[in-house]
């Protein structure tokens, strides 16, 4: 975890990691600067079938965003489900929820631009209250965090007074504030096993709760939320692809149904999938998750093949380069993330408990 996985790898990515000269007046003038930006984009995105002319169309935007970013002292975080123009055109860090939370707290930038959904930007604000946190797509929600309120958690606590509330990171700050400890797709089992309580109210992902129940002797009582992307995969569709690609390893997100998880070679979060691919000798993989991850990995692992099905998350795809430029120049009130201080302090405690268990210490 950490920077190596939140940064690109491979030759295409190397050129993208070079310090951006695009921000300042480019040597040789604007036209030469645009040519270089187009080359940089094409070097990464050519693997995905993007032609150079296409890259040239959005090079002025990425160039301008990178200039504005430097001017504002901002860092841009992008979840792996974002589109390739965001991931490889402008992002400083790419990663899963846990990695980005950690990056958000460690960065020395004054401003965080979060290319992802609202709960992710809220997590960044909880961990970095002194920073200005901006969400380019203010209406980017999540079916999981929208399935439960803080009042629901308070009611559950009254109903099960001896239980701990473990909240998946895909929750609002208000729900985190009412919970005992947070977890991510990468560390759910470690958290459940790492707390003393035997009875666990797991919110909000019903399917992740069921998948955890299959791996622990503790009692998991799941809330009824689901991810609109991951709940759609079926064992039948996996088997159909397995027939065509018998040598492909099947990597399934733990937000999927247990019968889909049971058919997997590996079940985990997006970060677990990336780590697995790095260390695997297989050439071919089927990623049972949102489509953005396969695009990211086609860029980073050009020698591997990613086959099969995927589903788009409408929330994750709301971020656009144009909105990122807008948020860096003149953010609207709904693009500036605020978390009420008493909620923030309690939500941070819930995140800190997670970091204590996973031994990842954060600054106070």
Site residues (CB under 6 A) for ligand 13P? 80, 96-97, 142, 170, 184-185, 227, 255, 269-270
316 touches ligand SF4 (CB under 6 A): yes
Can you say whether residue 8 is alpha, beta or left, with left for phi > 0 and alpha for psi between -120 and 50 degrees?
Answer: beta
Q: Does 252 bind ligand SF4 (CB under 6 A)?
A: no
Question: Considering only residues 124, 142, 208, 250, which one is a binding residue for ligand SF4 as defined by CB under 6 A?
Answer: 142
The least distance separating ligand SF4 from the CB of residue 116, rounded to whole angstroms, comes to 8
Does the footprint of ligand SF4 cover residue 291 (CB under 6 A)?
no
Instruction: Look at residue 315 and give the partner it binds from ligand 13P, ligand SF4, none, a contact being a CB closer than 5 to 8 Å depending on partner kind.
Output: ligand SF4
- 229 in contact with ligand SF4 (CB under 6 A): yes
- Angstrom distance (rounded) from CA 17 to CA 9: 9
Structure letter (DSSP) for residue 20: P
Q: Give the C-alpha distances (Å, rounded to integers) separating 17 from 10, 21, 28, 86.
A: 10, 11, 22, 14
Cβ proximity to ligand SF4, 134 vs 291, nearer residue: 291
**In the complex with ligand SF4, which residue's Cβ is closer, 176 or 315?**
315
Vertex 126 angle, CA 121 and 132, to 5°? 60
CB of 271 to ligand 13P, least distance (A): 6
Q: Which stretch binds ligand SF4 (CB under 6 A): 15-23, 54-62, 128-136, 309-317?
A: 309-317
Question: Which residue has 């978390």 as its token pair?
Answer: 339
Name which of 87, 132, 127, 35 is nearest 328 in CA terms.
Answer: 132
Which of the ranges 11-19, 50-58, 130-138, 310-318 carries the binding residues for ligand SF4, by CB under 6 A?
A: 310-318
Distance in angstroms (rounded) separating the CA atoms of residues 54 and 358 = 43
By CB under 6 A, residue 16 contacts ligand SF4: no
Task: Kindly identify the residues of this chain, within the stretch 253-282, that bind ligand SF4 according to CB under 6 A.
Answer: 255
Residue 138 main-chain phi, psi, to 5 deg: -65, -20
CB atoms under 10 Å from CB of 169, counted, come to 26
| Site for ligand SF4, residues 100 to 119, rule: CB under 6 A | 117
Nearer Cβ to ligand 13P (37/145): 145
In the three-class reduction of DSSP (H, G, I as helix; E, B as strand; rest coil), residue 28 is classed as: coil
CB 258 within 8 A of CB 235: no
Cβ 137 vs Cβ 334: under 8 Å: no
Cβ 104 vs Cβ 111: under 8 Å: no
Q: Measured between alpha carbons, how far is 184 from 97 in angstroms, rounded to an integer?
A: 7
Whether the ω angle into residue 56 lies within 30 degrees of 0, i.e. cis, is: no
Please report the beta strands in 148-280, taking only residues with DSSP state E, as ranges in sequence order: 164-168, 181-183, 199-203, 219-222, 249-253, 266-268
Nearer to ligand SF4, 61 or 274 (CB): 274
CB of 359 to ligand 13P, least distance (A): 19
Q: Confirm or reject binding of residue 121 to ligand SF4 (CB under 6 A).
A: no
Task: Tell me the window of 53-61, 82-90, 225-233, 242-250 that interacts with ligand SF4 (CB under 6 A).
Answer: 225-233
Q: Is there binding between residue 294 and ligand SF4 (CB under 6 A)?
A: no
- Report what 6 binds from ligand SF4, ligand 13P, none; CB cut-off 5-8 Å by kind: none
Residue 142 CB coordination number (10 Å): 23
Which range touches ligand SF4 (CB under 6 A), out of 26-34, 46-54, 137-145, 243-251? 137-145
Kindly report the length of the chain.
Answer: 364
The contact pattern for ligand SF4, residues 156-175, with x = CB under 6 A and - = no contact, is --------------x-----
Q: Which residues bind ligand SF4 (CB under 6 A)?
A: 117, 142-144, 170, 227-229, 255, 290, 313, 315-316
């Amino acid at each position: 975890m950490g920077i190596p996985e939140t940064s690109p790898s491979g030759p295409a990515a190397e050129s993208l990691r070079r310090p951006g000269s695009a921000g300042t007046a480019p040597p040789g003038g604007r036209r030469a600067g645009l040519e270089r930006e187009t080359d940089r984009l094409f070097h990464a995105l050519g693997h995905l079938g993007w032609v150079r002319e296409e890259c040239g169309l959005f090079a002025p935007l990425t160039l301008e965003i990178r200039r504005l970013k430097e001017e504002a002292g901002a860092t841009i975080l992008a979840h792996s489900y974002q589109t390739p123009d965001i991931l490889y055109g402008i992002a400083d860090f790419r990663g899963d929820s846990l990695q980005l939370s950690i990056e958000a707290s460690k960065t020395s930038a004054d401003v965080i631009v979060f290319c992802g959904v609202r709960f992710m930007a809220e997590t960044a604000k909880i961990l970095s209250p002194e920073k200005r946190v901006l969400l380019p797509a203010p209406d980017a929600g999540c079916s999981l965090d929208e399935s439960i309120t803080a009042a629901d958690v308070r009611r559950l606590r009254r109903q099960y007074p001896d239980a701990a509330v473990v909240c998946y990171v895909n929750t609002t700050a208000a729900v985190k504030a009412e919970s005992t400890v947070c977890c991510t797709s990468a560390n759910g089992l470690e958290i459940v096993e790492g707390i003393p309580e035997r009875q666990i109210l797991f919110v909000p992902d019903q399917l992740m709760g069921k998948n955890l129940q299959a791996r622990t002797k503790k009692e998991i009582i799941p809330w009824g939320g689901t991810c609109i992307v991951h709940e759609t995969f079926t064992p039948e569709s996996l088997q159909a692809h397995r027939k065509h690609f018998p040598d492909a390893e099947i990597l399934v997100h733990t937000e999927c149904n247990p019968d889909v998880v049971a058919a997997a070679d590996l079940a985990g979060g997006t970060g677990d999938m990336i780590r697995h691919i790095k260390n695997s000798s297989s050439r071919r993989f089927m990623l049972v998750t949102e489509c953005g991850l396969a695009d990211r990995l086609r860029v980073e692992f050009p020698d591997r093949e990613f086959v099969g099905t995927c589903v788009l998350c409408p929330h994750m795809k709301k971020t656009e380069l144009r909105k990122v430029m807008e948020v860096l120049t003149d953010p609207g009130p709904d693009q500036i993330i605020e978390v009420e201080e008493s909620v923030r302090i309690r939500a941070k405690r819930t995140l800190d408990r997670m970091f204590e268990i996973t031994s990842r210490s954060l600054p106070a």
